[in-house]
């Protein structure tokens, strides 16, 4: 299976701790997105990479959040000093830039974060 | 800013019957894409169907079809011959075309249950 993978699938942490999530996109995809999905809501856009460049960040992404995509391959999303309001499912998606298919985003299984 | 509204939090249908899920959106853009994504319980989100706004013909994918009314900003999903495997959360999503981001804006979702 060469789909989008995310690690870990579940993370339980205490308030104030730092957490880091990883996303491995489909290998030929140069675009990578992070979304956050809270209970009863649709996913909300957090940030977007094209290759290694982070091109847009949502205002939802406070200064406690940082994302990287070194070498334009996998990406990490770090949350510092976690708060209970950070509890959510964090989804990663990737897409390619080839005309005709660039609009389809392929999603990973998500990382469910619980902050106690 | 774009908004997507799904007014039906939950719906149910009997196996083999037809069901229609509603979606309305608001945008000042003229070129965009609309999507329906399916998120089965504890599984990752997958694309069901896509509609380009410049196309008048409604998209179809096997048992799934859309009714796209651009002037009314309406984009409903019809599922024919419903199957138990169609039980899932369905999200309507919007994407501006021709931009530099391709982020998705999602509605809150409709939980569809197919009953045997």
B44-95: per-residue pLDDT in tens?
999 999 999 998 899 999 999 999 999 999 999 999 999 999 999 999 999 9
Q: How confident is the model at residue A21 (pLDDT cuts 50, 70, 90)?
A: very high
**Which residues in chain A are contacts of B102 at CB distance < 8 A?**
31, 48, 95, 102-103, 105
The Cα of A11 is separated from the nearest Cα of chain B by a number of Å equal to 15
* The predicted structure's pLDDT at residue A98: 67
Beta strands (DSSP E) in A25-74 are 31-37, 44-50, 53-57, 65-68
Q: How large is the average pLDDT for residues A55-81?
A: 92
Q: How confident is the model at residue B41 (pLDDT cuts 50, 70, 90)?
A: confident
Q: In what order do the strands lie in the sheet with A5-7?
A: A5-7, A19-24, A75-79, A65-68
Q: How large is the average pLDDT for residues A30-53?
A: 93
Cis peptide preceding A8, ω within 30 of 0: yes
- From residue A74, give the alpha-carbon distance in Å to each of A7, A60, B24, B79, B111: 11, 22, 35, 36, 32
Q: What are phi and psi of B85, to 5 degrees?
A: -70, -5
* Tokens coding B3: 């908004």
* The predicted structure's pLDDT at residue A99: 60
* The predicted structure's pLDDT at residue A100: 60
Question: Which residue from B4, B102, B106 is facing A102, i.e. has the nearest CB?
Answer: B102
A43, closest residue in chain B (CA to CA):
B106
- Whether A89 has a pLDDT exceeding 80, the answer reads yes
Name the B residues in 2-61 with CB < 8 Å from any A CB.
4, 33, 37, 43-47, 50
The helix/strand/coil state of B86 is helix
> Given CB atoms, is B75 within the 8 Å cutoff of chain A?
no
* Tokens coding B56: 């008048």
* The predicted structure's pLDDT at residue A80: 97
The Cα of A18 is separated from the nearest Cα of chain B by a number of Å equal to 25
Among the residues of B1-115, which ranges form H helices?
none
- From residue B94, give the alpha-carbon distance in Å to each of A86, B99, B109: 25, 13, 13
The answer to whether A105 contacts B44, with C-beta atoms less than 8 Å apart, is no
* The predicted structure's pLDDT at residue A97: 75
- The residue to which tokens 């509605």 are assigned: B107
The Cα of B94 is separated from the nearest Cα of chain A by a number of Å equal to 11
Q: How large is the average pLDDT for residues A102-107?
A: 86
Question: Which residue from B103, B107, B108 is facing A48, i.e. has the nearest CB?
Answer: B103
- Whether A101 has a pLDDT exceeding 80, the answer reads no
């Amino acid at each position: 299976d060469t789909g989008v993978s995310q690690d870990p699938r579940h993370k339980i942490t205490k308030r104030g701790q730092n957490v880091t999530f990883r996303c491995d996109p489909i290998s030929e995809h140069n675009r990578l997105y992070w979304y956050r999905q809270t209970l009863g809501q649709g996913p909300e856009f957090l940030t977007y990479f094209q290759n290694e460049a982070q091109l847009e960040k949502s205002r939802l992404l406070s200064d406690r959040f940082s994302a990287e995509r070194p070498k334009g391959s996998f990406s990490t999303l770090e949350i510092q000093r976690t708060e209970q309001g950070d509890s959510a499912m964090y989804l990663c998606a990737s897409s390619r830039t080839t005309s005709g298919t660039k609009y389809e985003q392929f999603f990973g299984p998500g990382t469910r974060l619980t902050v106690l | 800013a774009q908004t997507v509204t799904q007014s039906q939090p939950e719906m149910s249908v009997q196996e083999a019957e037809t069901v229609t899920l509603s979606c309305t959106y608001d945008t000042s853009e003229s070129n965009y894409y609309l999507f329906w994504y399916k998120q089965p319980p504890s599984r990752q989100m997958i694309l069901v169907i896509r509609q380009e706004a410049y196309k008048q013909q409604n998209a179809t994918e096997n048992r799934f079809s859309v009714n796209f009314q651009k002037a009314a900003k309406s984009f409903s999903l019809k599922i024919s011959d419903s199957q138990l495997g169609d039980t899932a959360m369905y999200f309507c999503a919007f994407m501006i075309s021709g931009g530099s981001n391709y982020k998705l804006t999602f509605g809150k979702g409709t939980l569809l249950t197919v009953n045997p």
